Structure 1
Amino acid sequence: MENEKELYTNLIPHLNCKDFTVSKETFQVMKNEEYEMLVTCPVPENLEDYYKSEDYISHTDSKKSLIDKIYQLVKNYTLKQKLSLLNSFETESKLVLDIGAGTGDFLKVCKNDNWEVLGVEPNLDARKIASKKGIELTENLSEITKQQFDVITLWHVLEHVPDLKRTIKTLKSLLKPKGRIIVAVPNYKSCDAKSYKEYWAAYDVPRHLWHFSQKSIHKLFSEVDMIVDETLPMKFDAYYVSLLSEKYKAGKTNPLKAFYRGFLSNFNAMKSSEYSSFIYVIKNY
Protein backbone atom coordinates (compact mmCIF):
# COMPACT_ATOMS: atom_id res chain seq x y z
CA MET A 1 0.00 0.00 0.00
CA GLU A 2 2.69 2.42 -1.14
CA ASN A 3 0.25 5.27 -1.80
CA GLU A 4 -1.14 5.02 1.72
CA LYS A 5 2.13 5.53 3.64
CA GLU A 6 1.35 9.07 4.75
CA LEU A 7 -2.00 7.91 6.09
CA TYR A 8 -0.14 5.53 8.40
CA THR A 9 2.46 8.03 9.65
CA ASN A 10 2.39 9.94 12.94
CA LEU A 11 -0.58 7.97 14.21
CA ILE A 12 -1.69 8.38 17.82
CA PRO A 13 -3.84 5.90 19.80
CA HIS A 14 -7.56 6.60 19.80
CA LEU A 15 -9.23 3.44 21.14
CA ASN A 16 -9.27 -0.36 20.91
CA CYS A 17 -12.21 -2.04 19.19
CA LYS A 18 -13.39 -5.63 19.07
CA ASP A 19 -14.52 -7.45 15.95
CA PHE A 20 -17.98 -8.43 17.18
CA THR A 21 -19.05 -10.03 13.87
CA VAL A 22 -16.46 -12.69 13.01
CA SER A 23 -13.21 -13.15 14.90
CA LYS A 24 -13.81 -11.47 18.30
CA GLU A 25 -10.24 -10.14 17.98
CA THR A 26 -9.27 -6.66 19.14
CA PHE A 27 -7.79 -4.04 16.82
CA GLN A 28 -6.33 -0.62 17.45
CA VAL A 29 -8.03 2.42 15.97
CA MET A 30 -5.38 5.11 15.53
CA LYS A 31 -5.75 8.78 14.65
CA ASN A 32 -4.12 10.66 11.79
CA GLU A 33 -4.51 14.27 12.90
CA GLU A 34 -3.49 15.80 9.58
CA TYR A 35 -6.44 14.16 7.83
CA GLU A 36 -8.69 14.10 10.91
CA MET A 37 -9.20 10.42 10.13
CA LEU A 38 -8.98 7.18 12.11
CA VAL A 39 -7.10 4.13 10.85
CA THR A 40 -7.54 0.46 11.81
CA CYS A 41 -4.27 -1.25 12.79
CA PRO A 42 -3.06 -3.76 11.89
CA VAL A 43 -4.72 -4.70 8.62
CA PRO A 44 -4.98 -8.53 8.54
CA GLU A 45 -3.28 -10.22 5.60
CA ASN A 46 -6.31 -12.50 5.18
CA LEU A 47 -8.82 -9.63 5.30
CA GLU A 48 -11.31 -11.47 3.07
CA ASP A 49 -11.80 -14.08 5.83
CA TYR A 50 -13.29 -11.40 8.10
CA TYR A 51 -16.25 -11.05 5.72
CA LYS A 52 -17.19 -14.73 5.97
CA SER A 53 -20.20 -14.57 8.25
CA GLU A 54 -23.95 -14.90 7.88
CA ASP A 55 -24.14 -11.81 10.11
CA TYR A 56 -22.47 -9.70 7.41
CA ILE A 57 -25.82 -8.61 6.07
CA SER A 58 -24.80 -6.52 3.04
CA HIS A 59 -23.74 -9.79 1.35
CA THR A 60 -27.11 -11.47 1.97
CA ASP A 61 -30.84 -10.78 1.80
CA SER A 62 -31.37 -12.29 5.24
CA LYS A 63 -34.51 -11.46 7.23
CA LYS A 64 -33.93 -13.86 10.12
CA SER A 65 -33.40 -11.52 13.08
CA LEU A 66 -35.02 -8.26 14.16
CA ILE A 67 -31.90 -6.39 13.07
CA ASP A 68 -32.02 -8.12 9.66
CA LYS A 69 -35.65 -7.14 9.17
CA ILE A 70 -35.04 -3.52 10.15
CA TYR A 71 -32.03 -3.37 7.83
CA GLN A 72 -34.06 -4.66 4.87
CA LEU A 73 -36.96 -2.27 5.57
CA VAL A 74 -34.67 0.75 5.79
CA LYS A 75 -32.75 -0.41 2.70
CA ASN A 76 -35.91 -0.60 0.60
CA TYR A 77 -36.93 2.90 1.68
CA THR A 78 -33.51 4.46 1.10
CA LEU A 79 -33.18 2.87 -2.36
CA LYS A 80 -35.87 5.25 -3.60
CA GLN A 81 -34.05 8.22 -2.05
CA LYS A 82 -30.78 7.18 -3.68
CA LEU A 83 -32.43 6.89 -7.08
CA SER A 84 -34.02 10.33 -6.63
CA LEU A 85 -30.58 11.76 -5.90
CA LEU A 86 -29.20 10.32 -9.14
CA ASN A 87 -32.14 11.62 -11.12
CA SER A 88 -31.61 15.12 -9.74
CA PHE A 89 -28.32 15.43 -11.65
CA GLU A 90 -28.01 16.77 -15.17
CA THR A 91 -26.08 14.04 -16.98
CA GLU A 92 -24.86 13.40 -20.52
CA SER A 93 -26.45 9.96 -20.44
CA LYS A 94 -27.63 7.62 -17.68
CA LEU A 95 -24.59 5.43 -17.01
CA VAL A 96 -23.91 4.50 -13.39
CA LEU A 97 -21.16 2.41 -11.78
CA ASP A 98 -21.80 1.05 -8.28
CA ILE A 99 -18.71 -0.03 -6.32
CA GLY A 100 -19.38 -2.66 -3.66
CA ALA A 101 -22.75 -3.43 -5.16
CA GLY A 102 -23.58 -6.20 -2.68
CA THR A 103 -26.65 -8.17 -3.74
CA GLY A 104 -27.47 -5.70 -6.51
CA ASP A 105 -30.59 -4.01 -5.15
CA PHE A 106 -29.48 -0.45 -5.89
CA LEU A 107 -28.51 -1.25 -9.47
CA LYS A 108 -31.78 -3.13 -9.97
CA VAL A 109 -33.72 0.00 -8.98
CA CYS A 110 -31.56 2.08 -11.33
CA LYS A 111 -31.98 -0.40 -14.19
CA ASN A 112 -35.75 -0.35 -13.76
CA ASP A 113 -35.57 3.43 -14.14
CA ASN A 114 -33.71 3.17 -17.47
CA TRP A 115 -30.20 3.71 -16.16
CA GLU A 116 -27.44 1.73 -17.82
CA VAL A 117 -25.77 -0.07 -14.92
CA LEU A 118 -22.43 -1.64 -14.11
CA GLY A 119 -21.31 -2.89 -10.72
CA VAL A 120 -18.33 -4.26 -8.84
CA GLU A 121 -18.64 -6.74 -5.97
CA PRO A 122 -15.74 -8.90 -4.70
CA ASN A 123 -17.94 -11.35 -2.75
CA LEU A 124 -18.95 -14.37 -4.84
CA ASP A 125 -22.09 -15.21 -2.86
CA ALA A 126 -23.37 -11.63 -3.17
CA ARG A 127 -22.69 -11.68 -6.93
CA LYS A 128 -24.71 -14.90 -7.26
CA ILE A 129 -27.69 -13.32 -5.47
CA ALA A 130 -27.42 -10.23 -7.70
CA SER A 131 -27.31 -12.42 -10.80
CA LYS A 132 -30.64 -13.98 -9.86
CA LYS A 133 -32.07 -10.44 -9.89
CA GLY A 134 -30.76 -9.84 -13.40
CA ILE A 135 -27.74 -7.80 -12.26
CA GLU A 136 -24.38 -9.13 -13.44
CA LEU A 137 -21.45 -7.80 -11.42
CA THR A 138 -17.70 -7.85 -12.00
CA GLU A 139 -15.34 -8.97 -9.26
CA ASN A 140 -12.70 -6.22 -9.40
CA LEU A 141 -12.58 -2.52 -10.23
CA SER A 142 -9.44 -3.19 -12.28
CA GLU A 143 -11.61 -5.01 -14.86
CA ILE A 144 -13.27 -1.70 -15.80
CA THR A 145 -10.92 0.28 -18.03
CA LYS A 146 -12.63 1.49 -21.21
CA GLN A 147 -15.70 3.32 -19.91
CA GLN A 148 -16.45 6.61 -18.20
CA PHE A 149 -19.53 7.12 -16.10
CA ASP A 150 -22.01 9.90 -15.35
CA VAL A 151 -22.27 8.77 -11.74
CA ILE A 152 -20.10 6.49 -9.60
CA THR A 153 -21.56 5.38 -6.27
CA LEU A 154 -19.98 3.90 -3.16
CA TRP A 155 -22.66 3.23 -0.54
CA HIS A 156 -20.74 2.50 2.66
CA VAL A 157 -17.82 1.08 0.68
CA LEU A 158 -14.93 3.58 0.80
CA GLU A 159 -14.17 2.63 4.42
CA HIS A 160 -13.44 -0.93 3.20
CA VAL A 161 -10.94 -0.08 0.45
CA PRO A 162 -7.31 -1.04 1.26
CA ASP A 163 -5.63 1.23 -1.32
CA LEU A 164 -7.60 4.34 -0.48
CA LYS A 165 -5.70 7.06 -2.36
CA ARG A 166 -5.09 4.90 -5.41
CA THR A 167 -8.78 3.99 -5.51
CA ILE A 168 -9.82 7.65 -5.36
CA LYS A 169 -7.53 8.41 -8.32
CA THR A 170 -9.03 5.48 -10.22
CA LEU A 171 -12.56 6.70 -9.52
CA LYS A 172 -11.71 10.13 -10.91
CA SER A 173 -10.28 8.56 -14.07
CA LEU A 174 -13.52 6.62 -14.61
CA LEU A 175 -15.69 9.72 -14.28
CA LYS A 176 -16.93 11.87 -17.14
CA PRO A 177 -15.74 15.53 -16.91
CA LYS A 178 -19.11 16.68 -15.55
CA GLY A 179 -19.83 13.49 -13.65
CA ARG A 180 -20.27 12.96 -9.93
CA ILE A 181 -19.02 10.53 -7.32
CA ILE A 182 -21.42 9.72 -4.49
CA VAL A 183 -19.78 8.47 -1.29
CA ALA A 184 -21.71 7.37 1.80
CA VAL A 185 -19.62 6.72 4.92
CA PRO A 186 -20.03 6.70 8.72
CA ASN A 187 -18.91 9.74 10.71
CA TYR A 188 -16.82 8.94 13.79
CA LYS A 189 -17.44 12.45 15.15
CA SER A 190 -21.17 11.83 15.55
CA CYS A 191 -22.95 11.79 18.89
CA ASP A 192 -23.72 8.06 18.70
CA ALA A 193 -20.04 7.30 18.00
CA LYS A 194 -18.98 9.34 21.02
CA SER A 195 -21.65 7.71 23.16
CA TYR A 196 -20.90 4.07 22.31
CA LYS A 197 -17.11 4.52 21.97
CA GLU A 198 -15.47 1.13 21.32
CA TYR A 199 -18.90 -0.49 20.97
CA TRP A 200 -19.95 1.78 18.11
CA ALA A 201 -21.00 -0.66 15.40
CA ALA A 202 -19.81 1.57 12.54
CA TYR A 203 -16.19 1.03 13.56
CA ASP A 204 -16.72 -2.58 12.36
CA VAL A 205 -13.04 -3.50 12.60
CA PRO A 206 -11.14 -4.83 10.74
CA ARG A 207 -13.50 -4.62 7.74
CA HIS A 208 -13.63 -0.83 8.10
CA LEU A 209 -10.03 0.21 7.51
CA TRP A 210 -10.70 3.97 7.56
CA HIS A 211 -13.00 6.05 9.74
CA PHE A 212 -13.81 9.41 8.19
CA SER A 213 -14.71 12.88 9.35
CA GLN A 214 -16.09 15.56 7.05
CA LYS A 215 -12.63 17.14 6.90
CA SER A 216 -10.95 13.91 5.81
CA ILE A 217 -13.35 13.40 2.88
CA HIS A 218 -12.83 17.00 1.71
CA LYS A 219 -9.04 16.67 1.98
CA LEU A 220 -8.74 13.28 0.27
CA PHE A 221 -10.76 14.32 -2.77
CA SER A 222 -9.23 17.79 -2.99
CA GLU A 223 -5.88 16.05 -3.56
CA VAL A 224 -7.21 14.82 -6.92
CA ASP A 225 -8.79 18.19 -7.80
CA MET A 226 -12.30 17.27 -6.77
CA ILE A 227 -14.67 19.15 -4.49
CA VAL A 228 -17.50 18.11 -2.17
CA ASP A 229 -20.46 19.83 -3.79
CA GLU A 230 -23.13 18.64 -1.36
CA THR A 231 -23.25 16.89 2.02
CA LEU A 232 -26.44 15.07 3.02
CA PRO A 233 -27.21 13.42 6.39
CA MET A 234 -28.25 9.76 6.60
CA LYS A 235 -30.56 10.03 9.59
CA PHE A 236 -31.72 6.40 9.59
CA ASP A 237 -28.14 5.26 10.17
CA ALA A 238 -28.15 6.68 13.70
CA TYR A 239 -30.98 4.30 14.66
CA TYR A 240 -29.66 1.21 12.90
CA VAL A 241 -26.09 1.70 14.13
CA SER A 242 -27.36 2.33 17.67
CA LEU A 243 -29.38 -0.89 17.53
CA LEU A 244 -26.25 -2.88 16.67
CA SER A 245 -24.10 -0.93 19.12
CA GLU A 246 -26.53 -1.63 21.93
CA LYS A 247 -26.30 -5.34 21.17
CA TYR A 248 -22.49 -5.20 21.22
CA LYS A 249 -22.42 -3.25 24.47
CA ALA A 250 -25.12 -5.07 26.46
CA GLY A 251 -25.07 -8.47 24.77
CA LYS A 252 -28.71 -8.18 23.68
CA THR A 253 -30.89 -5.97 21.52
CA ASN A 254 -32.65 -3.09 23.24
CA PRO A 255 -34.76 -1.33 20.59
CA LEU A 256 -36.13 1.35 22.91
CA LYS A 257 -32.73 2.41 24.19
CA ALA A 258 -31.27 2.26 20.67
CA PHE A 259 -34.10 4.42 19.34
CA TYR A 260 -33.44 6.96 22.09
CA ARG A 261 -29.71 7.05 21.28
CA GLY A 262 -30.43 7.40 17.58
CA PHE A 263 -32.90 10.22 18.22
CA LEU A 264 -30.43 11.96 20.52
CA SER A 265 -27.68 11.69 17.90
CA ASN A 266 -29.86 13.25 15.20
CA PHE A 267 -31.12 15.94 17.58
CA ASN A 268 -27.58 16.96 18.58
CA ALA A 269 -26.52 16.92 14.92
CA MET A 270 -29.03 19.69 14.22
CA LYS A 271 -26.57 21.96 16.06
CA SER A 272 -23.23 20.22 15.56
CA SER A 273 -23.85 19.08 11.93
CA GLU A 274 -22.22 15.77 12.89
CA TYR A 275 -24.68 13.07 11.80
CA SER A 276 -24.02 9.34 12.17
CA SER A 277 -23.37 8.98 8.43
CA PHE A 278 -23.17 11.29 5.44
CA ILE A 279 -23.68 11.14 1.71
CA TYR A 280 -21.08 13.27 -0.10
CA VAL A 281 -21.72 14.40 -3.67
CA ILE A 282 -18.31 15.03 -5.22
CA LYS A 283 -17.41 16.56 -8.56
CA ASN A 284 -14.42 17.94 -10.45
CA TYR A 285 -13.27 21.50 -9.85
Structure 2
Amino acid sequence: MKERYSINLCPICNHSSFKHFLNVPDWLVSKEVFELKQCEKCQFVFTANAPLESEAGPYYNSEEYVEHSDTSSGLIYSIYHVARRVMLNFKYLKIKRLRTGKKLLDVGSGSGYFMNFMKKKGYEVTGVEISEKAANLCENNFGIKAHSPTEFVQGKLDTNYNIISLWHVFEHVYDYDTYFELFSKSLDEKGYLILALPNNDSPDAKMYQEFWGGYDTPRHIWHFTPKTIELFADKRGFKIVKKHRMPLDPFFNAMIGDSYKEKFTFLPITFLKGLYSYIVSLLNIEKSSSIIYIFQKKT
Protein backbone atom coordinates (compact mmCIF):
# COMPACT_ATOMS: atom_id res chain seq x y z
CA MET A 1 0.00 0.00 0.00
CA LYS A 2 1.26 3.48 -0.88
CA GLU A 3 2.32 5.73 1.96
CA ARG A 4 -0.03 8.69 2.28
CA TYR A 5 0.27 12.29 3.44
CA SER A 6 -0.71 12.19 7.10
CA ILE A 7 -2.74 14.95 8.79
CA ASN A 8 -2.99 14.38 12.53
CA LEU A 9 -3.81 17.90 13.72
CA CYS A 10 -6.14 20.45 12.14
CA PRO A 11 -4.05 23.24 10.52
CA ILE A 12 -6.49 25.81 11.91
CA CYS A 13 -7.41 24.81 15.46
CA ASN A 14 -4.98 21.92 16.22
CA HIS A 15 -7.90 19.64 17.01
CA SER A 16 -7.23 15.93 16.44
CA SER A 17 -10.77 14.59 16.04
CA PHE A 18 -12.09 14.32 12.47
CA LYS A 19 -15.21 12.88 10.88
CA HIS A 20 -15.89 11.50 7.42
CA PHE A 21 -17.10 14.19 5.02
CA LEU A 22 -17.17 12.74 1.47
CA ASN A 23 -15.49 10.21 -0.82
CA VAL A 24 -14.31 11.82 -4.08
CA PRO A 25 -12.75 9.95 -7.03
CA ASP A 26 -9.82 11.35 -8.98
CA TRP A 27 -11.89 11.87 -12.11
CA LEU A 28 -9.00 13.32 -14.09
CA VAL A 29 -6.21 10.73 -13.94
CA SER A 30 -6.29 7.64 -11.74
CA LYS A 31 -9.97 7.13 -10.78
CA GLU A 32 -8.73 6.32 -7.25
CA VAL A 33 -11.14 7.31 -4.50
CA PHE A 34 -9.96 9.77 -1.87
CA GLU A 35 -11.60 10.53 1.46
CA LEU A 36 -12.37 14.04 2.64
CA LYS A 37 -12.49 14.52 6.40
CA GLN A 38 -13.79 17.42 8.46
CA CYS A 39 -12.48 18.80 11.72
CA GLU A 40 -15.12 18.31 14.39
CA LYS A 41 -14.20 21.60 16.07
CA CYS A 42 -13.79 24.21 13.29
CA GLN A 43 -15.34 22.30 10.33
CA PHE A 44 -12.25 22.60 8.12
CA VAL A 45 -12.26 19.99 5.31
CA PHE A 46 -9.17 18.30 3.87
CA THR A 47 -8.17 15.31 1.74
CA ALA A 48 -7.24 12.71 4.34
CA ASN A 49 -5.34 10.23 2.16
CA ALA A 50 -3.58 12.43 -0.40
CA PRO A 51 -0.31 11.14 -1.90
CA LEU A 52 2.99 12.25 -0.44
CA GLU A 53 4.25 15.44 -2.04
CA SER A 54 7.11 13.48 -3.64
CA GLU A 55 4.58 11.15 -5.30
CA ALA A 56 2.00 13.74 -6.38
CA GLY A 57 3.49 14.42 -9.83
CA PRO A 58 1.74 11.60 -11.75
CA TYR A 59 -1.65 12.93 -10.66
CA TYR A 60 -1.00 16.05 -12.75
CA ASN A 61 -0.07 14.09 -15.89
CA SER A 62 -3.15 14.74 -17.97
CA GLU A 63 -3.69 16.85 -21.07
CA GLU A 64 -6.94 17.90 -19.40
CA TYR A 65 -4.97 19.61 -16.62
CA VAL A 66 -5.17 22.79 -18.62
CA GLU A 67 -2.87 25.09 -16.63
CA HIS A 68 0.04 22.72 -17.27
CA SER A 69 -0.82 21.52 -20.77
CA ASP A 70 -2.62 24.58 -22.26
CA THR A 71 -4.93 22.21 -24.13
CA SER A 72 -7.97 23.58 -25.97
CA SER A 73 -9.22 20.15 -26.99
CA GLY A 74 -12.94 19.60 -26.46
CA LEU A 75 -15.84 21.95 -25.79
CA ILE A 76 -15.19 22.52 -22.09
CA TYR A 77 -11.56 23.53 -22.57
CA SER A 78 -12.35 25.67 -25.62
CA ILE A 79 -14.82 27.55 -23.41
CA TYR A 80 -12.16 27.71 -20.68
CA HIS A 81 -9.76 29.56 -22.99
CA VAL A 82 -12.40 32.14 -23.88
CA ALA A 83 -13.31 32.55 -20.20
CA ARG A 84 -9.65 32.96 -19.27
CA ARG A 85 -9.34 36.01 -21.53
CA VAL A 86 -12.32 37.57 -19.77
CA MET A 87 -10.97 36.74 -16.32
CA LEU A 88 -7.51 38.17 -17.01
CA ASN A 89 -9.02 41.63 -17.33
CA PHE A 90 -11.29 40.98 -14.33
CA LYS A 91 -8.27 40.12 -12.16
CA TYR A 92 -6.33 43.12 -13.43
CA LEU A 93 -9.16 45.52 -12.56
CA LYS A 94 -9.47 44.12 -9.04
CA ILE A 95 -5.72 44.54 -8.50
CA LYS A 96 -5.65 48.01 -10.06
CA ARG A 97 -8.25 49.18 -7.53
CA LEU A 98 -5.91 48.30 -4.68
CA ARG A 99 -3.87 51.38 -5.64
CA THR A 100 -0.59 49.81 -4.66
CA GLY A 101 2.77 49.40 -6.39
CA LYS A 102 3.35 47.24 -9.45
CA LYS A 103 5.80 44.63 -8.22
CA LEU A 104 3.94 41.30 -8.46
CA LEU A 105 4.81 37.70 -7.60
CA ASP A 106 2.50 35.05 -9.06
CA VAL A 107 2.88 31.71 -7.28
CA GLY A 108 1.64 28.81 -9.40
CA SER A 109 1.98 30.87 -12.55
CA GLY A 110 1.10 27.98 -14.88
CA SER A 111 1.68 28.66 -18.55
CA GLY A 112 2.07 32.39 -17.91
CA TYR A 113 -1.05 34.07 -19.30
CA PHE A 114 -1.73 36.14 -16.17
CA MET A 115 1.89 37.26 -15.83
CA ASN A 116 2.04 38.24 -19.49
CA PHE A 117 -1.22 40.21 -19.22
CA MET A 118 0.00 42.07 -16.14
CA LYS A 119 3.40 42.74 -17.72
CA LYS A 120 1.62 44.42 -20.63
CA LYS A 121 -0.20 46.58 -18.07
CA GLY A 122 3.11 47.83 -16.71
CA TYR A 123 3.68 45.44 -13.81
CA GLU A 124 7.06 44.00 -12.88
CA VAL A 125 6.23 40.28 -12.75
CA THR A 126 7.93 37.25 -11.24
CA GLY A 127 6.52 33.73 -11.42
CA VAL A 128 6.88 30.50 -9.44
CA GLU A 129 5.79 27.26 -11.12
CA ILE A 130 6.31 23.62 -10.13
CA SER A 131 5.58 22.14 -13.58
CA GLU A 132 8.58 22.23 -15.90
CA LYS A 133 6.23 21.79 -18.85
CA ALA A 134 4.15 24.82 -17.88
CA ALA A 135 7.25 26.90 -17.12
CA ASN A 136 8.62 26.07 -20.57
CA LEU A 137 5.33 27.11 -22.18
CA CYS A 138 5.55 30.39 -20.30
CA GLU A 139 9.10 31.10 -21.41
CA ASN A 140 8.55 29.97 -25.01
CA ASN A 141 5.25 31.83 -25.49
CA PHE A 142 5.91 35.00 -23.52
CA GLY A 143 9.65 35.18 -22.81
CA ILE A 144 8.99 35.18 -19.04
CA LYS A 145 11.03 32.83 -16.85
CA ALA A 146 9.15 31.13 -14.02
CA HIS A 147 11.23 30.06 -11.03
CA SER A 148 10.93 26.74 -9.23
CA PRO A 149 9.21 26.43 -5.83
CA THR A 150 12.59 25.33 -4.45
CA GLU A 151 14.08 28.72 -5.35
CA PHE A 152 11.13 30.42 -3.65
CA VAL A 153 11.32 28.31 -0.49
CA GLN A 154 15.10 28.79 -0.25
CA GLY A 155 14.63 32.57 -0.33
CA LYS A 156 16.39 33.08 -3.66
CA LEU A 157 13.76 35.41 -5.10
CA ASP A 158 13.36 39.12 -4.51
CA THR A 159 11.35 40.61 -1.63
CA ASN A 160 9.22 43.70 -1.05
CA TYR A 161 6.52 42.66 -3.48
CA ASN A 162 3.41 44.82 -3.53
CA ILE A 163 1.25 41.87 -4.53
CA ILE A 164 1.58 38.10 -4.17
CA SER A 165 -1.13 36.18 -6.02
CA LEU A 166 -2.14 32.52 -6.02
CA TRP A 167 -4.99 31.78 -8.42
CA HIS A 168 -6.46 28.39 -7.50
CA VAL A 169 -3.06 27.30 -6.21
CA PHE A 170 -2.95 27.37 -2.41
CA GLU A 171 -5.30 24.38 -2.15
CA HIS A 172 -2.46 22.33 -3.73
CA VAL A 173 0.28 23.45 -1.32
CA TYR A 174 1.61 20.86 1.14
CA ASP A 175 3.99 23.01 3.19
CA TYR A 176 1.46 25.72 4.02
CA ASP A 177 3.27 27.18 7.05
CA THR A 178 6.50 27.67 5.11
CA TYR A 179 4.57 29.40 2.34
CA PHE A 180 2.80 31.76 4.73
CA GLU A 181 6.13 32.63 6.36
CA LEU A 182 7.48 33.42 2.89
CA PHE A 183 4.41 35.51 2.05
CA SER A 184 5.02 37.56 5.18
CA LYS A 185 8.73 38.01 4.45
CA SER A 186 8.27 38.70 0.73
CA LEU A 187 5.48 41.29 0.93
CA ASP A 188 6.15 44.92 1.74
CA GLU A 189 4.43 46.21 4.87
CA LYS A 190 1.31 47.39 3.02
CA GLY A 191 1.37 44.66 0.37
CA TYR A 192 -1.52 42.39 -0.56
CA LEU A 193 -1.77 38.60 -0.56
CA ILE A 194 -4.40 37.37 -3.04
CA LEU A 195 -5.75 33.83 -2.75
CA ALA A 196 -8.41 32.56 -5.17
CA LEU A 197 -9.98 29.37 -3.82
CA PRO A 198 -12.95 27.07 -4.48
CA ASN A 199 -15.67 27.32 -1.85
CA ASN A 200 -17.13 24.00 -0.77
CA ASP A 201 -20.00 25.85 0.93
CA SER A 202 -21.34 26.97 -2.47
CA PRO A 203 -24.60 25.74 -4.04
CA ASP A 204 -22.75 24.00 -6.88
CA ALA A 205 -20.54 22.12 -4.40
CA LYS A 206 -23.62 20.88 -2.57
CA MET A 207 -25.40 20.11 -5.86
CA TYR A 208 -22.60 18.06 -7.41
CA GLN A 209 -21.11 16.50 -4.25
CA GLU A 210 -18.32 14.08 -5.31
CA PHE A 211 -18.65 15.28 -8.93
CA TRP A 212 -17.85 18.90 -8.03
CA GLY A 213 -14.79 20.15 -9.90
CA GLY A 214 -13.64 22.23 -6.94
CA TYR A 215 -12.71 19.12 -4.95
CA ASP A 216 -10.29 17.87 -7.66
CA THR A 217 -8.80 15.15 -5.46
CA PRO A 218 -6.00 14.39 -4.82
CA ARG A 219 -4.51 17.54 -6.33
CA HIS A 220 -6.53 19.69 -3.92
CA ILE A 221 -5.53 18.88 -0.36
CA TRP A 222 -7.34 21.72 1.43
CA HIS A 223 -11.01 22.59 0.92
CA PHE A 224 -11.79 26.03 2.27
CA THR A 225 -14.89 28.04 3.04
CA PRO A 226 -14.76 31.80 3.74
CA LYS A 227 -14.82 31.06 7.46
CA THR A 228 -12.00 28.52 7.43
CA ILE A 229 -9.59 30.41 5.15
CA GLU A 230 -9.99 33.56 7.23
CA LEU A 231 -9.26 31.60 10.41
CA PHE A 232 -6.34 29.87 8.66
CA ALA A 233 -4.81 33.19 7.54
CA ASP A 234 -5.47 34.96 10.85
CA LYS A 235 -3.54 32.26 12.70
CA ARG A 236 -0.58 32.98 10.39
CA GLY A 237 -0.59 36.76 10.74
CA PHE A 238 -2.88 37.93 7.94
CA LYS A 239 -6.21 39.78 8.04
CA ILE A 240 -8.91 39.78 5.38
CA VAL A 241 -9.51 43.17 3.74
CA LYS A 242 -11.65 42.33 0.70
CA LYS A 243 -13.49 39.48 -1.03
CA HIS A 244 -14.67 39.14 -4.63
CA ARG A 245 -16.73 36.39 -6.22
CA MET A 246 -15.31 34.74 -9.34
CA PRO A 247 -18.29 35.10 -11.69
CA LEU A 248 -17.55 32.36 -14.22
CA ASP A 249 -16.60 29.54 -11.85
CA PRO A 250 -20.16 28.28 -11.14
CA PHE A 251 -20.70 27.79 -14.88
CA PHE A 252 -17.35 26.03 -15.36
CA ASN A 253 -17.94 23.82 -12.33
CA ALA A 254 -21.38 22.90 -13.66
CA MET A 255 -19.82 21.84 -16.98
CA ILE A 256 -17.11 19.85 -15.22
CA GLY A 257 -19.60 18.23 -12.84
CA ASP A 258 -21.99 17.20 -15.61
CA SER A 259 -19.10 15.86 -17.69
CA TYR A 260 -17.96 13.70 -14.74
CA LYS A 261 -21.54 12.47 -14.35
CA GLU A 262 -21.58 11.84 -18.14
CA LYS A 263 -24.66 14.02 -18.39
CA PHE A 264 -23.06 16.91 -20.25
CA THR A 265 -25.39 16.46 -23.20
CA PHE A 266 -27.66 19.50 -23.09
CA LEU A 267 -25.75 22.75 -22.53
CA PRO A 268 -28.77 24.93 -21.53
CA ILE A 269 -29.52 22.73 -18.50
CA THR A 270 -25.91 22.86 -17.39
CA PHE A 271 -25.94 26.64 -17.88
CA LEU A 272 -29.05 26.97 -15.70
CA LYS A 273 -27.38 25.02 -12.90
CA GLY A 274 -24.43 27.41 -13.03
CA LEU A 275 -26.77 30.40 -13.21
CA TYR A 276 -28.60 29.28 -10.07
CA SER A 277 -25.32 29.12 -8.15
CA TYR A 278 -24.25 32.51 -9.51
CA ILE A 279 -27.54 34.18 -8.50
CA VAL A 280 -27.20 32.79 -4.97
CA SER A 281 -23.68 34.27 -4.83
CA LEU A 282 -25.04 37.69 -5.80
CA LEU A 283 -27.23 37.55 -2.70
CA ASN A 284 -24.43 36.25 -0.47
CA ILE A 285 -20.78 36.35 -1.55
CA GLU A 286 -20.00 33.72 1.11
CA LYS A 287 -21.85 31.22 -1.12
CA SER A 288 -19.81 31.95 -4.26
CA SER A 289 -18.41 28.98 -6.17
CA SER A 290 -14.92 30.45 -5.91
CA ILE A 291 -13.79 33.53 -4.03
CA ILE A 292 -10.86 35.91 -4.37
CA TYR A 293 -9.61 36.72 -0.86
CA ILE A 294 -7.39 39.76 -0.41
CA PHE A 295 -5.29 39.79 2.77
CA GLN A 296 -2.77 42.10 4.37
CA LYS A 297 -0.34 41.49 7.17
CA LYS A 298 -1.73 42.21 10.62
CA THR A 299 -0.07 45.14 12.35
TM-score by length of 1: 0.94
Q: Distance in 2 between matches of 1:4 and 1:134?
A: 43
2:235 is matched with 223
Query: Which runs of structure 2 are paired with 1:146-157 in the superposition (5 Å)?
Result: 146-157=158-169
**Structure 1 residue 138: deviation in Å?**
0.5
Q: Number of aligned pairs?
A: 284
1:263 aligns with 2:272: no
Q: CA deviation at 1:187?
A: 0.3
Per-residue deviation, 1:62: 1.5
SS of 1:6's equivalent? Answer: coil
Q: Deviations over 1:60-105 (max 9, x none)?
A: 22211101111111101110111112222232x3110000000000
Q: Distance in 1 between matches of 2:183 and 2:224?
A: 18
Q: In the alignment, is residue 210 of structure 1 matched against residue 214 of structure 2?
A: no
CA distance in 2, matches of 1:43, 1:174: 29
Percent identical across equivalent pairs? 30
For the residues of structure 2 that align with 1:6 and 1:39, how far apart are their CA atoms? 9
- Which residue does 2:60 correspond to in 1? 51
Aligned counterparts of 1:265 and 1:112: Cα–Cα separation in 2: 33
- Residue 214 of structure 2 aligns to a residue in which SS? helix
Runs of 4+ in 1 over 6 A off after TM superposition: 1-4
Deviations 1:162-199 (A, max 9, x none): 12233222212211100000110000000000001111
Amino acid at match of 2:256: L
Contact 2:22 2:36 survives alignment (8 Å): yes
Amino acid at match of 1:5: L
- The Cα shift of 1:249 comes to 1.4
RMSD: 1.8
Aligned equivalent of 2:131: 123
Q: Secondary structure at the match of 2:274?
A: helix
User: What residue is the counterpart of 1:6 in the other structure?
Assistant: 10
Alignment TM-score, normalising by the size of structure 2: 0.90
Q: Decide whether the 8 Å contact of 1:44 with 1:206 is kept in 2.
A: yes
Corresponding residue for residue 248 of structure 2: 236
Structure 2, unpaired ranges of 5+: none
Residue 276 of structure 1: CA displacement?
0.3
Deviations 1:135-173 (A, max 9, x none): 110111214444221000000001000122332222122
Aligned runs of 1:1-285 on 2, under 5 Å?
5-7=9-11, 9-45=16-52, 46-91=55-100, 93-132=101-140, 133-140=142-149, 141-145=152-156, 146-250=158-262, 252-273=264-285, 274-285=287-298
Task: Find the aligned partners of 2:37 and 2:6 in 1 and give their Cα distance.
Answer: 19
**In 1, Cα distance between equivalents of 2:34 and 2:7:** 22
Q: In structure 1, what residue type is equivalent to 2:104?
A: V
Residue 162 of structure 1 aligns to a residue whose secondary structure is: coil
Look up the equivalent residue of 2:134 and give its one-letter code. A
Contact 1:243 1:253 in 2 (8 A): no
Q: 1:144 to 1:116 in 2, by over 3 A?
A: farther
**Distance in 2 between residues matched to 1:248 and 1:2, nearest whole Å:** 28
8 Å Cα contact 1:100-1:157 kept in structure 2: yes
Distance change in 2, residues 1:36/1:173 (3 Å): farther
Q: Is the 8 A contact 2:8 2:16 kept in 1?
A: no
Structure 1 unaligned residues grouped into runs of 5+: none
Separation (CA, whole Å) in 1 of partners of 2:146 and 2:87? 21
